[in-house]
Structure 1
Amino acid sequence: MKSSKECIIIKAVRVAPKPQRLVSSQRKHLLTATWEGVPAVIYQTLLGGPFLTGYLLYLGAEAAMIGFVLAVTTFFNVLQILTAFLVQRLRYRKKAMLISTLLNRVLWGATGLIPFLFDREWWIPVFLTLYSAAFIAGTVSGMLWTSVISDMVPAKVRGRYFGIRNTILNALGALVLFLGGTMLDWYPGGKGFLILFIIAWVAIAANMTLFLFYPDPPFERSTETRFLPMVRKPLSDTPFIRSTLFLGAWLFLQTLVVPLFSYAMLDVLNITYSVVSMMTVAQTAVMMIGFYVWGNLNARYSNRTLLFWTLPLIASSCVAWGLLSVLPVIPVLLLSHMLLGAGVGGFNQLAFNFMIGDTPKGDRPMFIAMYSAITGMAAFLGPMIGGQVFKLLLDAPVWMQHYGFQLLVGLLMLLTAWTLGRKVLLAAS
């Protein structure tokens, strides 16, 4: 028979609450990075994409100027090489990341004040100045964020984490895109854009607040202290530079036509805005599913292997335009955009993982900078040249105007993927 003292002890043990599961600091950091992306997606969606084009038209920009603005941000990636050298002087990165990020957000958000502070003849010049300065700061903040996030996310969960994060944020982006377009329909012109900018400024404030909760992991610096030897490191890493040069060439081919899909639908095929929006929604939906699928596959297969398998999907989205010769327009465009969503979503996610996962930790900033500079220059030249080709096709046969250029580039992309792509990406896996 148990004594009363023993019974009390047993009862206390039984009713004692279970210790709460401690949330590791690593898990908290991943949650912070996910929540930080929410306001970031809101302001980037409202200040970029079709809203940026609409705002430029409201300011009085012409087509050539709009094309330049849409392409010039990738050109600034070249500056990351100098930035990667300068940040080697830092022991910690958080302060520099916060300052450069704040400059990027404030300068970009300040473009919404232009109609209230300047005469109309100054609207476009001031916009170009603020926008360019914002994305020069953005090249610094982007590289520092990529370096920090690579230390925050463990390699073993990196593919799955970014797959889930990108799925959530792209779903939010699609919703914001729809709501922002509805808002502009209700309040056209300056009033509508003012409302969008006010929402964007609130999102910027929330975004910067959440950045304060990022960790500040020690910065493992390069063993090199001189500029040229530091630049030579990624250039002498044969698997990395071969893969990067190939991906740069691929992005050049891709951006010859893919950024101009909307132009081809609206101005060449005379598709309505509502149908174009439907295509964008379909592409985004497939992309969100793709983020999750590619992320899970990334836990089993290498970045380079999976990158290779995204290439035929992207190329097929261009080749699919050739079906316009025998099938109705809407099903063909829907197929093209679904293939594009599956391919581009995986490509962007896996290319990011390639930058932060397949590079040496101490020299990662310079590797990231070299990748961004090479691919950024390709993504700058592609749409500029592609736009000129579409102009030259105005006097070409109808089939060439409607789908010929996309079909030819798509076939070239397929050939490139199955020859050079197999040799570069699969051999390096």
Structure 2
Amino acid sequence: MPIPNTVKQVRPAVKPRPRRRLSVQRRQIRIATWEGVPSTIFQTLLGGPFLTGFLLYLGASSSQIGFVLAITTFVNIAQLGIAYGIQRIRSRKWTLIWFLTIHRLLWAGTGLIPFIFPKDLWVSVYIATYTVAFAANAVASMLWTSLISDIVPARVRGRHFGIRNTILNALGSLCLFTGGILLDRFPGGTGFLLLFIPIWICSVANIIIYFYYPDLPFERSQETSFWPMLRRPLQDAGFMKATAFLASWLLVQTLVVPLFSYAMLDLMHVNYKTISIITVMQTLAMMASFYIWGNLNARYSNKKLLFWTLPIIAASCLSWGLLAILPILLVLVLSHVLLGIGVGGFNQLAFNFTIGDTPKSERPMFIAMYSALTGLTSFVGPLAGGRIYGWMKAWPSSLDWFELYGFPVSIGFIMLILTGTLGRRILLAS
């Protein structure tokens, strides 16, 4: 009779598979993505409808609001000098950190204005602080664009920024919704004070994360003097035609689109919660479009896709005409969904155009030329739009319809004309 084997057979322990180490490049891309989290919270709670609302709380007029909305792009004209200056810096990373710190701390510091200054100085101090902050941001933006174009390889750039923008805009939607509820529940100074607490925290966190950015080698321009360097983009006919057209388009677009929040708050008296929900709908549409535009960008050129964003933005303005026959909320949601799809694609593709369709060694000056021209027109647009809204306030009440929806619809028609003529000839040429 066989003796049973009572000795247990011990199976060799299965070693856990070692976690695959991230390559240096993947780690750098991941840091750049995580940096966007506090940056998105910071900029969402300080910008958009909250910026307009805070300015109205401080006592700003429509013209002053238009000026503040315009100044962010006007300072980009300085990027022409910045593009030349950064050729002489030793470290893009540390210069970026210095100027980004100035921007983040000054803009976040505007929340202290009601506690430090008398009421009659609130708007003036805000405008002065905001202007200095965004002058510093013009330098930081140039350096970040130059650095991120080296971090993210060209072959995955369109898809990467599509996914990155989708994730960060989801976070922005949550911030918009939460901020809107907060300001409705605690109106006035208390609500804005509570809003600035996470802003202050995120401004510091954002600065800290930049310390983990890589300090990659910088491929400098082949030119050593300013004017020869400036001539490089000017001699690129395709680039200049596209840039001049996009600058003209933004002049028309910014006459009305940046002032949508003003129209909702001051003309329609829509509350913050509702505006936040509408803006969240816009952001959700933008998120979905980022992924689609990113995938299309792998097959079609930046300029061709830029062309197809234009009629969508025009349709956003034209849809305001439906206020004559449809409920306000329905029209505003439709307009902002179209705006999210159009502007989301426009911004993403314009960014890819400046860093992807330009020579690497001369890229800072190409970016600066684009930023300067579009910055100038985007400065004039909101400034003129704010003035126009101010003039319309003095018109007879029988013309209130034009202030409410006639003006945006008129701008929408001009956009369609630009798209079908110059846009078609310039952006679809190649």
Tell me: CA distance 1:110–1:399, structure 2 relative to 1, closer, same or farther (3 Å). closer
Q: Residue 125 of structure 1: CA displacement?
A: 3.4
**Distance in 1 (alpha carbons) for counterparts of 2:263 and 2:124:** 29
Asked whether the equivalents of residues 91 and 218 of structure 1 are also in contact (C-alpha less than 8 Å), the reply is: no
Q: Which runs of 5+ in 1 are unaligned?
A: 1-10
Q: In structure 1, what is the equivalent of residue 424 of structure 2?
A: 422
Give deviations 1:9-54, integer Å, cap 9, x for gaps.
xx97x94544432211111111111110000111112222222233
Q: Residue 245 of structure 1: CA displacement?
A: 0.5
Q: Which runs of 5+ in 2 are unaligned?
A: 1-10
**Distance in 2 (alpha carbons) for counterparts of 1:109 and 1:242:** 38
Which one-letter code corresponds to 1:306 in the other structure? L
Task: Judge which range, 237-246 or 60-69, deviates more.
Answer: 60-69
Tell me: CA distance 1:334–1:140, structure 2 relative to 1, closer, same or farther (3 Å). same
**Distance in 2 (alpha carbons) for counterparts of 1:251 and 1:117:** 37
Q: In structure 2, what is the equivalent of residue 8 of structure 1?
A: none
Asked whether the equivalents of residues 252 and 381 of structure 2 are also in contact (C-alpha less than 8 Å), the reply is: yes
Q: In structure 2, what is the equivalent of residue 204 of structure 1?
A: 203
Q: Please, what TM-score do these two structures have when normalized by structure 1?
A: 0.91
Q: In structure 1, what is the equivalent of residue 5 of structure 2?
A: none
**Distance in 2 (alpha carbons) for counterparts of 1:293 and 1:118:** 47
Task: Judge which range, 154-163 or 60-69, deviates more.
Answer: 60-69
**Distance in 1 (alpha carbons) for counterparts of 2:351 and 2:100:** 19
**Distance in 2 (alpha carbons) for counterparts of 1:173 and 1:424:** 34
Tell me: CA distance 1:191–1:386, structure 2 relative to 1, closer, same or farther (3 Å). closer
Q: In structure 2, what is the equivalent of residue 42 of structure 1?
A: 41
Which one-letter code corresponds to 2:349 in the other structure? L
Q: Residue 427 of structure 1: CA displacement?
A: 1.0
Q: Residue 110 of structure 1: CA displacement?
A: 2.1
Q: Residue 339 of structure 1: CA displacement?
A: 1.3
Asked whether the equivalents of residues 69 and 258 of structure 2 are also in contact (C-alpha less than 8 Å), the reply is: no
What RMSD over aligned residues (CA atoms) do the two structures have, in Å?
2.2
Q: In structure 1, what is the equivalent of residue 6 of structure 2?
A: none
Asked whether the equivalents of residues 93 and 215 of structure 2 are also in contact (C-alpha less than 8 Å), the reply is: yes
Q: In structure 2, what is the equivalent of residue 400 of structure 1?
A: 402
Q: Equivalent residues in 2 for 1:128-143 (5 A)?
A: 128-143=127-142
Which one-letter code corresponds to 1:263 in the other structure? Y
Give deviations 1:302-356, integer Å, cap 9, x for gaps.
1111111111111111222233445444433332222111111100111111111
Q: In structure 2, what is the equivalent of residue 229 of structure 1?
A: 228
Q: In structure 1, what is the equivalent of residue 3 of structure 2?
A: none
Q: Secondary structure at the match of 1:299?
A: coil
Q: In structure 2, what is the equivalent of residue 309 of structure 1?
A: 308
Q: Residue 266 of structure 1: CA displacement?
A: 4.4
Tell me: CA distance 1:346–1:183, structure 2 relative to 1, closer, same or farther (3 Å). same
Tell me: CA distance 1:15–1:268, structure 2 relative to 1, closer, same or farther (3 Å). closer
Tell me: CA distance 1:324–1:47, structure 2 relative to 1, closer, same or farther (3 Å). closer
Give deviations 1:203-252, integer Å, cap 9, x for gaps.
11111111111111111010111111111111111111110000001111
**Distance in 2 (alpha carbons) for counterparts of 1:318 and 1:38:** 31
Asked whether the equivalents of residues 90 and 219 of structure 1 are also in contact (C-alpha less than 8 Å), the reply is: no
Which one-letter code corresponds to 1:141 in the other structure? A
Asked whether the equivalents of residues 298 and 306 of structure 1 are also in contact (C-alpha less than 8 Å), the reply is: yes
**Distance in 2 (alpha carbons) for counterparts of 1:401 and 1:41:** 32
Q: Residue 398 of structure 1: CA displacement?
A: 5.1
Q: Secondary structure at the match of 2:254?
A: helix
**Distance in 1 (alpha carbons) for counterparts of 2:163 and 2:231:** 35
**Distance in 2 (alpha carbons) for counterparts of 1:116 and 1:269:** 30
**Distance in 2 (alpha carbons) for counterparts of 1:173 and 1:191:** 22
Which one-letter code corresponds to 1:417 in the other structure? T
Which one-letter code corresponds to 1:419 in the other structure? T
**Distance in 2 (alpha carbons) for counterparts of 1:242 and 1:22:** 45
* Number of matched pairs: 417
Tell me: CA distance 1:84–1:287, structure 2 relative to 1, closer, same or farther (3 Å). same
**1:163 equivalent in alignment to 2:159:** no
**Distance in 1 (alpha carbons) for counterparts of 2:257 and 2:97:** 33
Q: In structure 2, what is the equivalent of residue 260 of structure 1?
A: 259
Task: Judge which range, 399-408 or 344-353, deviates more.
Answer: 399-408
Asked whether the equivalents of residues 72 and 380 of structure 1 are also in contact (C-alpha less than 8 Å), the reply is: yes
Q: In structure 2, what is the equivalent of residue 218 of structure 1?
A: 217
Give deviations 1:100-125, integer Å, cap 9, x for gaps.
11111122222223333334444333
Q: Equivalent residues in 2 for 1:282-361 (5 A)?
A: 282-361=281-360
**Distance in 2 (alpha carbons) for counterparts of 1:91 and 1:32:** 22
**Distance in 1 (alpha carbons) for counterparts of 2:75 and 2:105:** 18
Q: Residue 422 of structure 1: CA displacement?
A: 1.5
Which one-letter code corresponds to 1:281 in the other structure? V
Tell me: CA distance 1:90–1:271, structure 2 relative to 1, closer, same or farther (3 Å). closer
Q: Residue 73 of structure 1: CA displacement?
A: 1.4
**Distance in 2 (alpha carbons) for counterparts of 1:240 and 1:368:** 11
Q: In structure 1, what is the equivalent of residue 414 of structure 2?
A: 412
Q: In structure 2, what is the equivalent of residue 98 of structure 1?
A: 97
Q: In structure 2, what is the equivalent of residue 366 of structure 1?
A: 365
Task: Judge which range, 247-256 or 113-122, deviates more.
Answer: 113-122
Task: Judge which range, 240-249 or 274-283, deviates more.
Answer: 274-283
Asked whether the equivalents of residues 253 and 413 of structure 1 are also in contact (C-alpha less than 8 Å), the reply is: yes
Q: In structure 1, what is the equivalent of residue 250 of structure 2?
A: 251
Q: In structure 2, what is the equivalent of residue 388 of structure 1?
A: 387
**Distance in 1 (alpha carbons) for counterparts of 2:189 and 2:422:** 49
Asked whether the equivalents of residues 62 and 389 of structure 2 are also in contact (C-alpha less than 8 Å), the reply is: no
Task: Judge which range, 264-273 or 402-411, deviates more.
Answer: 264-273
Q: Equivalent residues in 2 for 1:39-188 (5 A)?
A: 39-188=38-187
Tell me: CA distance 1:125–1:269, structure 2 relative to 1, closer, same or farther (3 Å). closer
Q: Secondary structure at the match of 1:256?
A: coil
